[in-house]
Each structure stands twice: as structure tokens, then as C-alpha cells.
Structure 1
Amino acid sequence: TGSGKTTTLYAGVTAINKADLNIMTIEDPIEYHMAGASQIEVNEKKGLTFARGLRSLVRQDPDVIMVGEIRDLETAQIAIQSALTGHLVFSTLHTNDAPSTMTRLVDLGVEPFLVSSSVLCVVAQRLVRRICPDCKQEYVPDTAELHGFDLSMQDLPKGHLWKGKGCTACFNTGYTGRTGIHEVMPITEALKQQIVDKVPAGEMKRVAVQEGGLRTLRMDGIAKALMGQTTLEEVATITQRDTF
């Protein structure tokens, strides 16, 4: 979906990659080759689905398993069972934010108590365009623009924000390249209970923010705008306003 999930997935596995770890992956397709890892590519025409490939991997006693994407109940169940039996499992799902991952797994048919027992941390992310460094300039936003993000002039560290004026280097867009904004949600004891109780994702997010210090995608986007990496306009395009 162009949000950079695969890059982050590989980065997570690569960060712990050591010679004494048996790392195995099932992917569709294999996008990067990892030294020391055994990688299998899904081939549904030949009957090699995520679920079938994952079942095969588990029999080979891996320490770390990377599942490119959880698309169905069978894959989810095998991945969760693998996590519960001592394997470290990395994977991705398509959801709007971090808390929605929990409800998505339950909606697939996974028992809530299994989700709460197996998931350690969820990272949601989006990509925003970076302000072009060649035409980056300061500007003072008006009250209406700030109000849309629940900000005031006092929230601006230097009393201004930045935007790209547009130049030949950025084809007059004001942007070059992209950077990630993230929502990192460790699964605390309070969140585990909410998962078991089937609490809606919106309420789960409210508790994670107010009691667990979660920084939402919107919050992280705003922080990066205040640092001059991107613009509030870009953040508004990519994220939804927090409603709690």
C-alpha cells in the first residue's frame, strides 16, 4: 500500500539477525535478500500459500519467523500459535492504526485471549513527503491552520513553520523524498484486558494515549512538521484527526 511496511519489517528482522539465530521467512514476493535467512516465496498457482508455507516453516524449528502479510484466519492462527510456542514472529496487516490491528485479528476469527497473549507490540506507519531542502523557507501559519491541529503559536518552537516554495530540484512541488510517521503501541497489561473484553479500537487508542503515552500517527506527523521535516498540509492529507 506504499506505507513502507515491508521496509520496516525487514529492518526489524535485520536488527536482530545473528549467526546463531535460525531466521525463516514466507513472503509474497521476496523483495530483499537477507544474509543468513531462509526465505520462501508464496506461489499460489502451485498451492504454496502463506498458511501452507508458514506451516512448513514451523516444522523446521526457527527462532524467528517473518510472515510477509497475514491475509486470512488460517495464517493468523498459525502465526499466533508460533508466537505462543516460543518463536518471535514479525508480520503485517492492513489496518488504519495500531489499535485496529487487534480488532482486525479478532474479526478474522482469532480468539481475543490468544491475541492478547501473543502480540507484543504493534507499529502503524505512513509515509509523508519531505520538504525540499533547496527551497525550504520559513512561514508564520495563521490561526485557522493551527486550529485544525489543535495547536497555537505557543506550540511552535521557533515561532514559525516551514514549507517548500517550489524549485527545479523538486519540480516545483516543494517536496523531495519521503519519511515515515509512526504509531508504536506496546501491548501493556491494560491493553491485554481490553483486547479480551473486545473494546472498540477507538477506546483502546484513547486509553493507550492517556495512560500509556502512545503517540498517534497524527501526533507524530505534527511533531515532524514542527521539526521542519514535513508540512501540516501533508500531515492532514495522510492522517486522520484524533477524536478522543
Structure 2
Amino acid sequence: MSIDRFETLRKFTAARIGLGRSGPGIATPDHLAFRAAHALARDAVHTELDLAALAASLSPLGLPVLRVESRAPDQQTYLTRPDFGRRLSDASVTALQAREQGEEIAVLVAGGLSAFATASHAANLLALLVPGFRQAGLTVGPICIAPRGRVALGDEVGALLGARLVLVLIGERPGLSSPDSLGAYITVAPRLGRTDADRNCISNIRPEGMVLAEAARRILWLTDQAMTRGISGVSLKDDSDRVLLAASAQGQLLTG
């Protein structure tokens, strides 16, 4: 009887390790599993976000939901012209300019490169975040949803809404084991011209990666620090784990 030396390791990773062989090629079940994963990744990139379903899932939050459009008129243009996905259409600029300003946090939910991720996780994550923002005394503006938006689109949205901080939830580029990974980006003082160095990112938000509760904890901590200190990106380190460990140690001392 042959012993599968990789069986134990496979319980701890989604990586394709120790694949079986059939002659010079991999075994049929492993080949078919790879083809299925590749198909899911392609579908994630090419599928457009269902805005009506997303708006319905966001309605329990009790916040206005606004549809905004980038300058990419369709998915094919969006994929081949990333710059179009970073700027709002003229009509969306006009619509946001007409809105009353004043909320401290602006939220943009975008399809990004995985509509699966956004549709699966964005509303559930916001259901944890919005009460946390309110508990911290922060006002949250309308939730803007964009079918073909890149991360930088949030800078223009936040600036037009006069927000102190913008939170972007967006579907991340899918991998062959993660077609539904959501990313969260936090930028203080949003405006055109901001770069990735100005943002904090929480990545791989999904049940098999960073679970929603943990992602919400980190986002709330980073948001509090960004609003308090007026910084984000490389100037703001995610020390939430250190704070959590220190609080846990202090609790053990008090109860020990």
C-alpha cells in the first residue's frame, strides 16, 4: 500500500502539493480540479456586479445607496484600461457634487476584479462596521456602489462628499484557490492624486482567509487611528494585534 506523505499537509493549505501522476501528466482528478479553479477565477474577473442585488443586501444598514459609474463603459474596457476605472464619469461627479456634505466616512463598494467577492462579503462586512463606526461617534455617508471601479475611485468619491476618510471595499484579483477574496482600503483626507502609499489595506477577506469579524476589528482600529492622528498608509502601522495582546495580558494579571 502506498502512503500519501502529503495528506496531512493538505489539511493546512489550499496549495496544490503532492499531486498524483498518470504517466508524464498529473492525475485526472487533480487536472479537472485545476481546470475548475481556473474557470472560477476567469468568471470572477469577467462577471459584472449585480447592483440591484447588492443594493438590496445593503438596505438593512439604513443608509442611502448611490450608484456611481467610472469612466469605463463596459467590462472589457474596464479590464484593458485600468485608468478609466480610477475616475468617475461626468454624470457621477455632478450627482455627488449635488449632495449635501458633512459625513465623516465615505464608503465605496466596487466590483473590482471579483464581483463574486463583493457580492458575497461586502454587505456582511459593512453590517459589522457601520454599528462600530456609529458607536465611535462617527457619521457615515451614503454607500456608493460602482460596478467597474478601481481602488483610486474612492479618492474622488470621498473628496466630492467632503469626507474625512474613505473606505473602499473591492473584489481582489482572484487566485486559483481564492476567487472570492475581498479587499478593504482606508485613506484619510481622500483627494485626487493619492497613491497606494497613502492607504492601509486589509486583504484576503473571506471565510477561508481573514474572516469577517477579524477584518472588521482591524478596519475599525485603523479607522480610529487614522481619524485621531490624521494619517494613513505607510505612516500608520497596523498595531492592533499588539494592542489586543497587551490588553489580554493585562486582563490575565488582574484576574491571576
TM-score, normalised relative to structure 2: 0.33
Could you say which structure has the higher strand fraction? 1
TM-score, normalised relative to structure 1: 0.34
Could you say which structure has the higher helix fraction? 2
